[in-house]
Amino acid sequence: MTSRDRDRDYWRRRRWSIWDVFDEIFREMEEEFDRLTRELSFTPLFPAEEKGEGPKVMGPYVYGVRITIGPDGRPVIERFGNVRSVGGKPMISEEREPLVDVFEDDDEITVIAEIPGVEKENIKIKVSDDRKRLIIRASDENRKYYKEIQLPSEVDPASAKASYRNGVLEVKLKKSKKKEPEGYEIKVE
């Protein structure tokens, strides 16, 4: 009697259960996963590896999304991290995009950004020439952050105050209608 005949005989005598179907499905899924893992482990992740130039070491890779409900009741999806999609392909950059919240009052705009791991001396904040964008740059030996934030209205850069505690940057800007010729840098307290 061959092993195949023994298997067939075993399955004829055995009582069937609904769970036998799931056992077979999970076994097939596990085999497919093992096959894909073996194939992907030998596929170079970067085209430079194929050319023999070696991989460009970057990291860590940070990517996330935050979904909130906007003032109009529609969902707002905000991406953060250092992985961006360019032309449908992922692109890794050295600069991370921090998670940012913008709050608007009657006479003031508050921007809160999460930029952990850097010293306050390494944070540069600038209001653009049109006074409608806030640019945050921060860098340390291990981390780099960059974010341009579109502000809901024009601001007075001279009235700006910034503080940085426990990896959280808070920038308060007074609203203004007066035009200034160029951008301003804001000192971090």
Q: How far is CA 1 from CA 6, 8, 15, in A?
A: 7, 11, 22
Out of 46-60, 85-99, 168-182, pick the least confident: 46-60
Best-predicted range by mean pLDDT (22-31, 152-161, 173-182): 152-161
pLDDT tops 60 at residue 39 = yes
Query: Which run of H or E residues covers position 59?
Result: none
Residues counted in the chain: 189
Q: What is the CATH number of domain 98-186?
A: 2.60.40.790
Out of 25-39, 126-140, 147-161, pick the least confident: 25-39
> Closest Cα to residue 76, out of 68, 64, 84, 88?
68
Compute the distance between CA of residue 114 and CA of residue 135 in angstroms, rounded to an integer. 14
Q: Mean pLDDT score of the chain, rounded to an integer? A: 80
Count Cβ atoms within 10 A of the Cβ of residue 146 and give its class: 0-12 exposed, 13-18 middle, 19 or more buried.
middle
Band of residue 187 on the pLDDT scale cut at 50, 70, 90 = confident
Q: Count of CB atoms within 10 A of residue 101's CB?
A: 14
Q: What is the pTM of this model?
A: 0.59
Q: How far is CA 100 from CA 62, 71, 131, 152, 170, in A?
A: 15, 16, 18, 14, 10
In this structure, is the dihedral angle defined by the CA atoms of residues 94, 97, 98 and 104, taken in order, positive or negative? positive
Write down the pLDDT at residue 8: 67
Compute the distance between CA of residue 87 and CA of residue 113 in angstroms, rounded to an integer. 28
